[in-house]
Amino acid sequence: MQPPPQRWLLLSLDRLTGNELIMTQELIANMLGVRREGVTESALKLQKAGLISYARGHIKVLDRPGLEKRSCECYKVVKKEYDRLLPVQIAT
């Protein structure tokens, strides 16, 4: 069973400092174990909902709270555990 695209996108962004990913549809499809057409379909749905903008491998989250709301409850569980195990270290 592959992760829902919203959860995968959120978890990927949690490991970056910004709100943008640069990845091809083919790479995303390979990482999720789905067909490239499925990535296109999901991205278009999220874009129509105003949650992301997606063009030529650039995914920019426009409405993170909205994306979190559409994600399964498992995102919060995974994020909480990730934050517990690997807390953010602030350089001093």
Q: pTM of the full predicted structure?
A: 0.77
pLDDT at 92 over 60: no
Q: Which residue has the tokens 């129509």?
A: 48
Give the residue from 67, 82, 84, 53 showing the smallest Cα distance to 7. 67
pLDDT (0 to 100) of residue 75:
87
Instruction: Express each pLDDT in 50-66 by its tens digit.
Output: 999 999 889 999 999 99
CATH topology of domain 5-85: Arc Repressor Mutant, subunit A (1.10.10)
Listed in sequence order, the residues at least 6 apart from 24 whose beta carbon sits closer than 8 Å to its beta carbon are 57
Q: What is the Cβ-side half-sphere exposure of residue 82, based on CA atoms within 13 angstroms?
A: 11
pLDDT (0 to 100) of residue 1:
45
Indicate the domain borders of the chain: 5-85
28: tokens are: 């995303």
Instruction: Express each pLDDT in 59-88 by its tens digit.
Output: 999 999 999 898 888 888 988 898 888 877
pLDDT at 2 over 80: no
